Amino acid sequence: MDIPQPYLLFIGDVTDPLAAKTARGIHAWRPEQCIGQLRLDGCDVTLDLPDLSLSEALAQGAKTLVLGTANAGGFLPEHWLVSIREAIRAGMNVASGLHQRLTDIPELVELATRYQVQLFDVRHTKEALKVGNGKARTGKRVLTVGTDCAVGKMYTSLALEQAMKACGMSVDFCATGQTGILIAGSGISIDAVVSDFISGAAERLSPDNDANHWDIIEGQGSLFHPSYAGVSLGLLHGSQADWLVMCHEMGRPYTRHLPHHPLVSLADCIAENLHCARVTNANVQLAGIAVNTSSFPEQQARDYLAQLTTQFNVPATDPVRFGINDIAEFLLHHG
Amino acid sequence: MDIPQPYLLFIGDVTDPLAAKTARGIHAWRPEQCIGQLRLDGCDVTLDLPDLSLSEALAQGAKTLVLGTANAGGFLPEHWLVSIREAIRAGMNVASGLHQRLTDIPELVELATRYQVQLFDVRHTKEALKVGNGKARTGKRVLTVGTDCAVGKMYTSLALEQAMKACGMSVDFCATGQTGILIAGSGISIDAVVSDFISGAAERLSPDNDANHWDIIEGQGSLFHPSYAGVSLGLLHGSQADWLVMCHEMGRPYTRHLPHHPLVSLADCIAENLHCARVTNANVQLAGIAVNTSSFPEQQARDYLAQLTTQFNVPATDPVRFGINDIAEFLLHHG
């Protein structure tokens, strides 16, 4: 899936700032790929991007209209079809992170064929995948893993990519979820592939590369999450990571959405991830720990991170609060 | 997926006995559900079942025509459509274990609607699945796990079901692969579900049950198989097994189809399966080891199994060569 950039970000008429999380993520991480925003009447959310019409955006080089919003059911509001049709007729591709597929709407498929543009349903992969084979690949790989869902694996991956670039390293972010794919313009939504192909999809996501090139692979779920561990393990095996960065939320007591399921300890989670990763890469090591400390005062957060650094002998940081340069430099010197 | 039994087994015109493996498995494990076989001219494979025409089979109560063959591409030979159409018109359901879906052939879908019969593509689940939640369920569960693919997990599960029934226990076989599903008449092809739903599918497969009821869940793949470990872990978590039976092939040096990947040791594989299973069932235990010893002379096989029994303190047997009563009795006394 390769989505032509730059984008015009469509926010529709959402009124909840959280609903525009995806669009906001794209703008935050790839500002140079965002030409403007397209809003409908009644929308009071803004990304601090210029409001552009389709023709204005096209004139400035926009190649894809991105539906950068989320709603509960993941469905496409019918009145948004007006803008989508108009974009297609104007020659713009359309990308959507919604569950409901653009390509399931025959009218849009016909229109896209007629106007020779592409429709991207980033939650669904159309690629013919192979099962994984576990064969070693060239190049270097970092995978973000976690004690749970929603502990900052995408943020950590993108921040690390940025910090490693600043160190002069050759590095790419490999997206495995819909927001990441829209940010990168490519990737595979790993939890949407048929389960036989999880590790095969991960292998395809970070193919052979130059010996000194780094792929930073966006992790998903957790080996200890009863809902998603299969995805996490297939991704871990297929990634063949040389280095893991463990993501965690300080003080989180239970697994997300499962209040009957206490969170695994950080030490157990690190040990298990390294153990499982060795199935496809005997030399895998821990490169750092990225912690969301936002529920705690700064000094308490600093003390906790210092303790983790001592305990695990790698940099521990909160990438949002304190940056992630320590982990980038660790990889520069040890990788 | 509930496939009405009994069956008429369609073997088409295959000439390789191995191609009729699925039909043979159904006949071996559910002889009472197999009314007869339907063969085309040129077929020299037989199941030792009466050759019946569609009308003869219907008269004897057959409810479903089962395509019980496999070929390299998993496609449906076009000249078989004649028999399939005829079966539908005669009021028989049709079930297929092929990759190519019956339900992708509009003509068959229309015909099935008109004659009010069902088409079953057992490799593909149509059910709307939920993500797993890891909540404890009532009843007892055994899951077969393995050091690799093709080490006898389905055979062991079915043999154990039979042996436990002979002990007077209340027990059901829960199928997770296409042959198992055709044998049981129900189940979910776990490697064909979208990866987000692996553990959710496993939870659905063995729902709450009576406290003294046993579900024997057919395992898939291996935690140490670089291609399929994600499926195995999701199935392990979703099954919430109380007991594991480890399946293994004596002397196998490499992981199947991956000659660059040495096989995990039995001890490591048992430890890791128990460790991972504890995420959703803290009380999980090993109930036995089922070994394919067919490449070794009998005395060498017996010595190896005796050594495993001592090492792991559970019954170790070759279910094909020596039966599986020891494991059934172990569960009767310890479960």
Task: Give how far A232 is from chain B: nearest CA, Å.
Answer: 7
- Distance CA(B189)–CA(B121), nearest Å, equals 10
pLDDT of residue B73: 72
Which pLDDT tens digit goes with each residue over B10-66? 999 888 888 888 999 999 999 999 999 999 998 889 999 999 999 999 999 999 999
Instruction: Write out the E strands in A7-139.
Output: 7-12, 34-39, 64-67, 93-96, 119-121
How far apart are the two ends of chain B, measured CA to CA in Å? Answer: 29
CB neighbours (10 Å) of residue B30? 17
Per-residue pLDDT of chain A (335 residues; tens, 9 = 90+): 799 999 999 999 988 888 888 999 999 999 999 999 999 998 889 999 999 999 999 999 999 999 988 776 778 889 999 999 999 999 999 999 888 899 999 999 999 999 999 999 998 877 789 999 999 999 999 999 999 999 999 999 999 999 999 999 999 999 999 999 999 999 999 999 999 999 999 999 999 999 999 999 999 999 999 999 999 999 999 999 999 999 999 999 999 889 999 999 999 999 999 999 999 999 999 999 999 999 999 999 999 999 999 999 999 999 999 999 999 999 999 98
User: Rg of chain B's alpha carbons, rounded to an integer?
Assistant: 20
- Residue A233: which of B233, B260, B264 has the nearest Cβ? B233
CA B131 and chain centroid, separation: 22
Contact present, B291 and B300 (Cβ < 8 Å): no
pLDDT of residue B183: 96
In this structure, what DSSP letter does residue A186 have? Answer: B
Output phi, psi for A276, to 5 deg: -70, -35
Q: Would you state the structure tokens that stand for residue A122, as one six-digit string?
A: 């980033």
pLDDT of residue A4: 97
The residue assigned the tokens 């140079």 is A32
- Distance CA(B131)–CA(A231), nearest Å, equals 12
- Distance CA(A159)–CA(A24), nearest Å, equals 15
The single-letter code of the amino acid at B122 is V
In this structure, what DSSP letter does residue B187 have? Answer: -
Contact: A234, B238; criterion CB under 8 Å: no
A contacts of B190 (beta carbons < 8 Å): 195
What average pLDDT does chain A have? Answer: 95
Q: Map residue A298 onto helix, strand or coil.
A: helix
Give the β-pairing of B285-292 and B316-317. parallel
DSSP bridge pairs for A124: none
Please report, to the nearest 10 degrees, the dihedral formed by the alpha carbons of residues A88, A93, A99, A105 taken in order: 30
> C-alpha angle B198/B199/B203, rounded to 5°?
125
Nearest to B236 by CA among B279, B290, B193: B279
Q: Map residue A116 onto helix, strand or coil.
A: coil
The residue assigned the tokens 């509009």 is B106
Which pLDDT tens digit goes with each residue over B83-125? 999 999 999 999 998 888 999 999 999 999 999 999 999 988 7
Q: Which CATH class name applies to A7-121?
A: alpha beta
In total, the C-beta contacts within 8 angstroms joining chain A to chain B are 123
- Distance CA(B24)–CA(B48), nearest Å, equals 10
B177 near A CB under 8 A = no
Task: Give how far A203 is from chain B: nearest CA, Å.
Answer: 10
| DSSP-assigned letters across all residues of A129-168 | ---------SSEEEEEEESSSSSSHHHHHHHHHHHHHHTT
Contact: A230, B227; criterion CB under 8 Å: no
Domain borders along chain A are 7-121, 140-334
- Residue A279: which of B195, B226, B260 has the nearest Cβ? B226
* Fold match, B7-121 / B140-334: yes
Contact: B196, A191; criterion CB under 8 Å: yes
pLDDT of residue B316: 98
Contact: B234, A230; criterion CB under 8 Å: yes
- Whether the per-residue pLDDT at B1 is higher than 80: the answer is no
Neighbouring C-alpha atoms within 13 Å toward the C-beta of A149: 14
Flag the least confident range among B59-68, B250-259, B302-311, B318-327: B250-259
Architecture, CATH, for domain A140-334: 3-Layer(aba) Sandwich (3.40)
Nearest to B153 by CA among B289, B284, B287: B289
Q: Which helix (H) or strand (E) holds A299?
A: helix A298-312
pLDDT of residue A307: 98
Contact present, B22 and B78 (Cβ < 8 Å): no
pLDDT of residue A124: 86
- Residue A134: which of B195, B226, B234 has the nearest Cβ? B226
Output phi, psi for B101, to 5 deg: -90, 135
- Residue B279: which of A194, A198, A226 has the nearest Cβ? A226
- Distance CA(A30)–CA(B114), nearest Å, equals 54
Q: Model ipTM?
A: 0.90
- Whether the per-residue pLDDT at B226 is higher than 90: the answer is yes
User: Rg of chain A's alpha carbons, rounded to an integer?
Assistant: 20
Neighbouring C-alpha atoms within 13 Å toward the C-beta of B215: 28
CB neighbours (10 Å) of residue A88? 25
